[in-house]
């Protein structure tokens, strides 16, 4: 009997999570339509997304399994070590940093991660380019520019109306349109969360010396400051500040930006020269109260917008994508209704705990470290010193950050579904 639907899965949002999910679902044999108002060429413009992403080693296995690894590897910088330091007080360069630090070393979990580094730093524009190429070459029905304007999630189908008036229907619609997801709102899924009153300033710098594949995270009173190694002796800076200070850092001259860096870090970033535009991202927590609704599943930032302190937001989103693709593909192969409540509940049960636990953990971390009260400072310095001395605990953190814990979807083990 001919299918009453135009597609098997409707994916709203061709960002990093939506495009990866679409690719995984299509590779497994599902007929996918992918909708986004931003066509891929617009997403690749130098002014679109200046971020770089710390890709956990298990997430990189997924990109490899989807055929993106070879194109990304020349642009992926190994992160062999991560140094976390309770940073300097304001006024900065002249004052001594706290002696408290944490050191994570890939060698310590060598066997568990097959000798891989802790993760790879890759510029988002490179991931977007690899996804654009793979999606365009696939049989995904790409509707860009196209925008979801209406969603009906009633049995037996989800029906989505696009801005041009066309309508697509499928047993399930996947909301991957980021924090403002229309699909999530249409399904009546609420979010809980709050703003941090902080923004992340993102800049790429060329370094005056070799970074040695080491990532640094400093916890300053204004918020975390990360220096993340990139290929070609460059680094991506993620500098958290109050939203007003962040806007000023975005628009100031390169010379003034460099002077601010020196004031904070003394000669640590000596010789670093800014490259390209700077970007500002307001930071807020937004966690969906559920991952599914009738004929609906949400993934990525549509489901959980978290603070970038641990570089895990996209890793969580890609784990959602892997889990959901696996659940839907297996249901299709068993001849089940892929959009039924029973099928979608398998996805929700798989991902709910991990997402809530990580979002809460990062939130607590930011609060603990964005505080300069002496007793709080003492407590966290003692905590860091303790974790640093206890090898097994440190290894637990590393495996968690590598995304290799828990019930892993096949793609994160490097296998196609
Ligand atoms: C400063 C900073 C640093 C970060 N660093 C890291 C890191 O190191 N590691 C990590 O794992 N994560 C990191 N993250 C988090 C990561 O960037 C996000 O989790 C990720 O980009 C979210 O991707 P997404 O595809 O879910 O959502 P988005 O990137 O928001 O994409 C949503 C897509 O939906 C489209 N869309 C919007 N409305 C509609 C509509 N009506 N119809 C159809 N499509 C629509 C948009 O055009 C867009 O393409 C960082 C975040 C920030 C702010």
283 CA distance to ligand 1 centroid (A)? 12
pLDDT band at residue 2 using 50, 70 and 90 as cut-offs: low
Task: Give Cα 15 to chain centroid, integer Å.
Answer: 11
* Cβ–Cβ < 8 Å for 417, 24: yes
Specify the pLDDT at position 96.
53
Peptide bond preceding 86 in cis form (omega within 30 of 0): no
Specify the pLDDT at position 97.
53
Specify the pLDDT at position 187.
97
Integer Cα distance of 343 and 415 in angstroms: 21
CA dist list (Å): 65 to 81, 197, 275, 348 = 25, 39, 32, 23
Q: Is the pLDDT of residue 151 over 80?
A: yes
Average pLDDT of span 363-385: 76
Which tens digits make up the pLDDT trace of 280-289? 999 999 999 9
Integer Cα distance of 326 and 183 in angstroms: 21
342 half-sphere exposure, CB direction, 13 A CA radius: 5
Could you tell me where the beta strands, DSSP code E, fall in 163-312? 167-170, 172-175, 191-206, 214-220, 223-230, 234-242, 273-288, 292-293, 296-298, 304-305
317 lines ligand 1 (CB under 6 A): yes
51 lines ligand 1 (CB under 6 A): yes
Average pLDDT of span 399-416: 84
Q: Is the pLDDT of residue 89 over 70?
A: no
More confident residue, 112 or 8: 8
Which tens digits make up the pLDDT trace of 8-66? 999 999 999 999 999 999 999 999 999 999 999 999 999 999 999 999 989 999 999 99
State the fold for domain 9-406.
FAD/NAD(P)-binding domain (3.50.50)
pLDDT band at residue 158 using 50, 70 and 90 as cut-offs: very high
Q: Is the pLDDT of residue 3 over 70?
A: yes
Which tens digits make up the pLDDT trace of 205-246? 999 889 999 999 888 877 889 999 999 999 999 999 999 999
User: Which residues are 274's β-sheet partners?
Assistant: 205
Specify the pLDDT at position 33.
98
Which tens digits make up the pLDDT trace of 172-204? 999 999 999 999 999 999 999 999 999 999 999
Integer Cα distance of 228 and 107 in angstroms: 19
Looking at ligand 1, which residue's alpha carbon is closest to its atom 6?
Answer: 311
* Cβ–Cβ < 8 Å for 172, 297: yes
Residue 383: count other Cβ atoms within 10 Å of its Cβ: 14
Helix (H, G, I), strand (E, B) or coil at 43: helix
What proportion of the chain, given as a percentage, has pLDDT over 70? 93
35 lines ligand 1 (CB under 6 A): yes
Q: What are the domain boundaries of the chain?
A: 9-406
Q: Is the pLDDT of residue 103 over 90?
A: no
174 CA distance to ligand 1 centroid (A)? 15
Specify the pLDDT at position 94.
44
Which of 67, 99, 72 lies closest to 85, judged by CA? 99
363 lines ligand 1 (CB under 6 A): no
Residue 315: count other Cβ atoms within 10 Å of its Cβ: 24
Report which secondary-structure segment, H or E, holds 12: strand 9-12
Specify the pLDDT at position 114.
72
286 CA distance to ligand 1 centroid (A)? 13
Write down the mean pLDDT value for the chain.
Answer: 90
Specify the pLDDT at position 62.
97
Which tens digits make up the pLDDT trace of 315-368? 999 999 999 999 999 999 999 999 999 999 999 999 999 999 999 988 888 887
Q: Which atom of ligand 1 is nearest to the CA of 182?
A: 41
- When mean pLDDT is compared over 98-112, 343-357, 388-402, the highest value belongs to 343-357
pLDDT band at residue 113 using 50, 70 and 90 as cut-offs: low
Integer Cα distance of 247 and 173 in angstroms: 37
pTM (whole model) above 0.85: yes
Specify the pLDDT at position 91.
40
Looking at ligand 1, which residue's alpha carbon is closest to its atom 51?
Answer: 308
Helix (H, G, I), strand (E, B) or coil at 317: helix
Q: Which atom of ligand 1 is nearest to the CA of 281?
A: 53
12 CA distance to ligand 1 centroid (A)? 13
Average pLDDT of span 121-138: 98
What is the residue-wise DSSP string for 74-116? GGPEEE-EEEEEE-PPTTGGGSPPPS-EEEEEGGGGTTTTTT-
Specify the pLDDT at position 92.
43
61 half-sphere exposure, CB direction, 13 A CA radius: 23
Looking at ligand 1, which residue's alpha carbon is closest to its atom 27?
Answer: 178
Integer Cα distance of 15 and 192 in angstroms: 22
Q: Which two tokens stand for residue 75?
A: 């642009």
Average pLDDT of span 402-414: 86
Could you tell me where the beta strands, DSSP code E, fall in 106-184? 119-123, 141-143, 148-154, 157-162, 167-170, 172-175
Specify the pLDDT at position 112.
65
Q: Which two tokens stand for residue 341?
A: 């409540």
Integer Cα distance of 411 and 377 in angstroms: 40
């Amino acid at each position: 009997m001919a299918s009453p639907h135009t597609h098997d899965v409707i994916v709203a949002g061709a960002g990093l999570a939506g495009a990866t999910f679409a690719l995984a679902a299509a590779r497994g044999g599902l007929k996918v339509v992918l909708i986004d108002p931003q066509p891929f060429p617009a997403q690749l413009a130098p002014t679109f997304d200046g971020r770089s992403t710390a890709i956990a080693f298990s997430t990189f296995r997924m990109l490899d399994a989807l055929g993106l690894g070879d194109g990304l590897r020349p642009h992926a910088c190994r992160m062999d070590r991560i140094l976390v330091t309770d940073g300097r007080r304001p006024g900065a360069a002249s004052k001594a940093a706290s002696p408290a630090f944490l050191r994570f070393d890939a060698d310590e979990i060598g066997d568990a991660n097959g000798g891989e580094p802790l993760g790879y730093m890759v510029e988002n524009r490179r991931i977007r380019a690899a996804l654009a190429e793979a999606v365009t070459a696939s049989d995904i029905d790409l509707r860009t520019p196209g925008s979801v304007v209406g969603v009906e999630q009633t049995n037996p189908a989800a029906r989505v109306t696009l801005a041009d008036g066309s309508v697509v229907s499928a047993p399930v619609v996947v909301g991957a349109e980021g924090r403002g997801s229309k699909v999530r709102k249409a399904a009546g899924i609420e979010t809980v969360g709050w703003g941090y009153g902080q923004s992340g300033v993102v800049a790429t710098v060329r370094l005056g010396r070799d970074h040695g594949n080491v990532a640094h995270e400093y916890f300053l009173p204004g918020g975390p400051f990360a220096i993340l190694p990139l290929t070609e002796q460059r680094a991506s800076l993620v500098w958290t500040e109050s939203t007003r200070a962040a806007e000023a850092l975005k628009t100031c001259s390169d010379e003034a930006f460099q002077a601010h860096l020196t004031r904070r870090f003394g000669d640590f970033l000596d010789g670093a020269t800014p490259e390209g535009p700077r970007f500002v991202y307001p930071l807020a927590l937004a966690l969906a109260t559920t991952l599914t609704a009738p004929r609906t599943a949400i993934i990525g930032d549509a489901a959980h917008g978290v603070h970038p302190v641990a570089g895990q937001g996209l890793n969580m989103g890609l784990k959602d994508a892997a889990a959901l693709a696996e659940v839907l593909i297996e249901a299709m192969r068993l001849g089940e209704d892929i959009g039924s409540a029973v099928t979608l509940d398998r996805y929700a049960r798989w991902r709910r705990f991990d997402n809530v636990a990580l979002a809460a953990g990062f939130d607590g971390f930011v609060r603990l470290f964005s505080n300069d009260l002496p007793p709080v400072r003492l407590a966290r310095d003692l905590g860091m010193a303790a974790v640093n001395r206890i090898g097994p605990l440190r290894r637990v953190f590393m495996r968690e950050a590598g995304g290799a814990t828990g019930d892993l979807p096949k793609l994160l083990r490097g296998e196609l579904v």
